[in-house]
């Protein structure tokens, strides 16, 4: 493997990073200029008289440099194969240095211990365990030097390199009712072709774990007329195939909203222009106010009432004290829209109208976790070791039957398309996220297969905005740490609050924690402020 000289290190801002593990591959980071082509490692090309193993290992090492469509890596290939090799088809994230074995006169076998894969549409798939992947390379002599004339259409990078060279990008789909945009995080090399890859990912559809939970307004079989999104004067021109013509005017507006929200997340894109078969389309924009995501307001439960937290003041919610004094709940949920109060005590889950003194026991189970109202007005009643139920308009229905796992905490995303939960099993605690499948009326019917999120000893979880979560974790010294984490487990920040955290909730981009003594604190930047005392529980009113 070639030695690399350090040229220039640039600081990445706003770039999500995955946890690094395994051996670190040394190499420089070079600013290559251009709109998005920055912060890349600069690999070396082939050397004269390189052996077959050195050519193959040099080729794999050159995967750290995606600039100019992996131009350095292509130098290790024959002239014909360099034009045919497709590095975008798959990425292997490795845990350790690959092993090389010569088989035959001109064939190399490489074994890669793989932690995760990324497909051509940027979908990141962590593996349950490290899995060996065997790759084969054929070599020939070209102008007296060994070159590769057959190789897999993929790239191989270590986890630390992946966190630098790749960046997360949100791809937006709609909830099942076409009311809210839901982000689906994908990973691509930070490069000028990101807009094209994001558009292709959007056309391909949602990730497997969101399939059934979200939908697209883009007609099936729609493709890019040319495999490129051209950006001129900050306008991204997306030229779609004729299948897009089958969408009516409303669906075209929603379709454009998906492209707008997806592509304007790039710093080089200010607006999006839709074309169909090279003809510019006049599409009415969807007003952003038609796609609201209410951040909610923090609410506090005391021994005597329910309060809305406003700054450092706790304001009693009218009608709450009657139910709290009678039922002595340990957790509550509030629906601001319907003026409903849900209360959990030893008997189970009760539901009351804040304008009435009457309440109803709607789910008589022990061990019900803190309840939540979702964006559709459904009340989620989740047992710690039993089924997941939802309630609305007098009907309690089961979404998931009883399972063997023990749940510690859960939360429903603001738009109601995703559920994050902490479960406990023999190996410890695990954080995972699932899509919520709803029928045409918005009723939850099932949950998708889960994907695991990297975390260390999670204790409490709450959604923070559209694609992040706030997490309370217990450290090795048994103190509590509050961190902001993405859906793939890369931690943006982690801070130790001034107290041990017993409960947590979020509202918008703010985090609120409660100590065992009932003191409630809020986080502002990296500092904490004491708000109110005497709390028994915290939640977010929807």
Q: Concatenated DSSP letters for 280-319?
A: E---PPPPGGGS-----EEEEE-SS-EEEEETTEEEEPTT
For the chain, what percent of residues have pLDDT higher than 70? 89
pLDDT, tens digit, for every residue of 169-178? Answer: 999 999 988 8
Would you tell me how many other CB atoms lie within 10 Å of the CB of residue 4?
A: 18
Domains (range + CATH), the chain: 29-165 (3.10.450), 167-290 (no CATH), 297-541 (2.120.10.30)
Residue 539 is given by DSSP the state E
* pLDDT score for 311: 84
DSSP bridge pairs for 493: 484
* pLDDT score for 40: 62
Question: Average pLDDT of 192-221?
Answer: 94
| Geometric angle at alpha carbon 246, from 234 and 208, rounded to 5° | 75
Kindly indicate the confidence band of residue 35, based on its pLDDT and cuts at 50, 70 and 90: very low
520 Rama class: left (phi>0) / alpha (psi -120 to 50) / beta: beta
Task: Give the whole-angstrom CA distance, residue 352 versus residue 340.
Answer: 6
What residues have CB less than 8 Å from 68, skipping those under 6 apart?
A: none
Phi, psi for 70 (deg, rounded to 5): 60, 45
* pLDDT score for 21: 35
17 burial via Cβ count (<10 Å: 0-12, 13-18, 19+): middle
pLDDT, tens digit, for every residue of 117-148? Answer: 999 999 998 888 899 999 999 999 999 999 99
Task: Give the whole-angstrom CA distance, residue 252 versus residue 282.
Answer: 10
* pLDDT score for 486: 82
Kindly indicate the confidence band of residue 474, based on its pLDDT and cuts at 50, 70 and 90: confident
Of 12-26, 309-323, 476-490, give the lowest mean pLDDT range. 12-26
Mean pLDDT across the chain: 88
| Torsion sign across C-alpha atoms 143, 146, 151, 157 | negative
Kindly indicate the confidence band of residue 286, based on its pLDDT and cuts at 50, 70 and 90: confident
To 10 degrees, the CA torsion angle through 532, 535, 540, 542? -100
In this model, does residue 441 exceed pLDDT 90?
Answer: no
Kindly indicate the confidence band of residue 19, based on its pLDDT and cuts at 50, 70 and 90: very low
- Asked if 514 and 520 touch (Cβ cutoff 8 Å), the reply is yes
Of 178-187, 363-372, 487-496, 531-540, give the lowest mean pLDDT range. 487-496
- Asked if 238 and 218 touch (Cβ cutoff 8 Å), the reply is no
* pLDDT score for 65: 93
- Asked if 453 and 432 touch (Cβ cutoff 8 Å), the reply is yes
Kindly indicate the confidence band of residue 231, based on its pLDDT and cuts at 50, 70 and 90: very high
518 Rama class: left (phi>0) / alpha (psi -120 to 50) / beta: left
Kindly indicate the confidence band of residue 294, based on its pLDDT and cuts at 50, 70 and 90: low
* 3-state secondary structure (DSSP) of residue 238: strand
Kindly indicate the confidence band of residue 293, based on its pLDDT and cuts at 50, 70 and 90: low
Residue closest to 135 by CA, chosen among 160, 152, 118: 152
The DSSP code sequence of 434-485 is: EEEEE-TTS-EEEEPPPEEE--SSEEEEEEETTTEEEEEEE-TTS-EEEEEE
What residues have CB less than 8 Å from 13, skipping those under 6 apart?
A: none
- Asked if 63 and 115 touch (Cβ cutoff 8 Å), the reply is no
* pLDDT score for 3: 32
Question: Average pLDDT of 234-255?
Answer: 96
Question: Average pLDDT of 480-503?
Answer: 83
* pLDDT score for 217: 96
In this model, does residue 504 exceed pLDDT 70?
Answer: yes
In this model, does residue 30 exceed pLDDT 60?
Answer: no
| Geometric angle at alpha carbon 466, from 463 and 472, rounded to 5° | 25
- Asked if 111 and 134 touch (Cβ cutoff 8 Å), the reply is yes
Question: Average pLDDT of 254-283?
Answer: 95
Of 110-119, 291-300, 435-444, give the lowest mean pLDDT range. 291-300
Q: Which residue would you say has higher pLDDT here, 489 or 477?
A: 477
Question: Average pLDDT of 284-307?
Answer: 79
Length in residues, the chain: 542
Task: Give the whole-angstrom CA distance, residue 540 versus residue 374.
Answer: 11
pTM here is: 0.84
* pLDDT score for 403: 72
In this model, does residue 4 exceed pLDDT 70?
Answer: no
Q: Of the spans 134-143, 396-405, 435-444, 485-494, which averages the highest pLDDT? A: 134-143
Q: Which residue would you say has higher pLDDT here, 13 or 177?
A: 177
- Asked if 209 and 450 touch (Cβ cutoff 8 Å), the reply is yes
Phi, psi for 198 (deg, rounded to 5): -65, -40
- Asked if 345 and 352 touch (Cβ cutoff 8 Å), the reply is no
* pLDDT score for 121: 96
Question: Average pLDDT of 399-408?
Answer: 85
* pLDDT score for 126: 85
């Amino acid at each position: 493997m070639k030695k690399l000289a350090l040229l220039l290190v640039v600081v990445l801002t706003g770039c999500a990073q995955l946890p690094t593990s395994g051996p670190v591959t040394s190499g420089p980071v070079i600013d290559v200029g251009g709109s998005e082509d920055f912060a890349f490692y600069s690999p070396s090309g082939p050397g004269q008289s390189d052996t077959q193993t050195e050519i193959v290992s040099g080729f794999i090492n050159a995967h750290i440099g995606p600039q100019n469509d992996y131009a350095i890596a292509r130098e290790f290939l024959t002239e014909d194969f360099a034009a045919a090799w497709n590095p975008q088809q798959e990425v292997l994230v490795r845990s350790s240095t690959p092993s090389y074995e010569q088989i035959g006169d001109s064939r190399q076998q490489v074994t890669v211990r793989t932690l995760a894969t990324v497909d051509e549409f940027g979908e990141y798939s962590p593996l349950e365990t490290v899995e060996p992947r065997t790759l084969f390379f054929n070599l020939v002599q070209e102008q007296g030097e060994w070159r590769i004339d057959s190789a897999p259409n993929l790239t191989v990078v270590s986890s630390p390199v992946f966190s630098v060279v790749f960046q997360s990008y949100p791809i937006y789909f709609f909830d099942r009712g076409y009311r809210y945009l839901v982000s689906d995080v994908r990973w691509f090399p930070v490069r000028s072709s990101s807009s094209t890859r994001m558009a292709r990912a959007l056309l391909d559809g949602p990730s497997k774990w969101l399939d059934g939970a979200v939908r697209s307004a883009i007609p099936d079989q729609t493709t890019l007329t040319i495999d490129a999104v051209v950006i001129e004067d900050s306008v991204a021109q997306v030229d779609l195939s004729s299948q897009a013509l089958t969408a009516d005017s409303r669906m075209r507006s929603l379709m454009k909203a998906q492209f707008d929200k997806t592509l304007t997340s790039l710093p080089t894109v200010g607006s999006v222009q839709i074309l169909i078969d090279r003809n510019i389309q006049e599409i009415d924009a969807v007003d952003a106010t038609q796609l609201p995501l209410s951040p909610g307001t923090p609410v506090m439960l005391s021994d005597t009432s329910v309060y809305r937290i406003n700054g450092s003041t706790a304001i009693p919610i009218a009608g709450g004290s009657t139910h709290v004094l009678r039922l002595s709940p340990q957790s509550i949920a509030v629906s601001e829209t319907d003026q409903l109060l849900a209360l959990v005590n030893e008997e189970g889950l009760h539901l009351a109208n804040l304008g009435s003194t009457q309440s109803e026991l709607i789910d008589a189970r022990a061990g019900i976790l803190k309840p939540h109202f979702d964006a559709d007005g459904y009340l989620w009643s989740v047992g710690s070791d039993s089924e997941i139920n939802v309630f609305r308009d007098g009907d309690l229905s089961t979404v998931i039957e009883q399972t063997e796992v023990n749940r510690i905490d859960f939360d429903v995303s603001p738009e109601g398309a995703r559920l994050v939960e902490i479960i406990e099993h023999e190996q410890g605690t695990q954080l995972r996220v699932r899509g919520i499948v709803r029928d045409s009326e918005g009723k939850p019917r099932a949950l998708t297969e889960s994907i695991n999120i990297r975390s260390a000893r999670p204790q409490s979880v709450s959604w923070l905005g559209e694609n992040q979560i706030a997490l309370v974790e217990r450290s090795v010294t048994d103190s509590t740490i509050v961190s902001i984490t993405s859906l793939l487990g890369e931690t943006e920040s982690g801070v130790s609050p001034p107290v041990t955290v017993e409960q947590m909730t979020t509202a918008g981009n703010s985090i609120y924690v409660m100590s065992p003594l009932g003191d409630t604190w809020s986080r502002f930047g990296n500092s904490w402020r004491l708000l109110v005392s005497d709390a028994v529980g915290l939640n977010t009113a929807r």
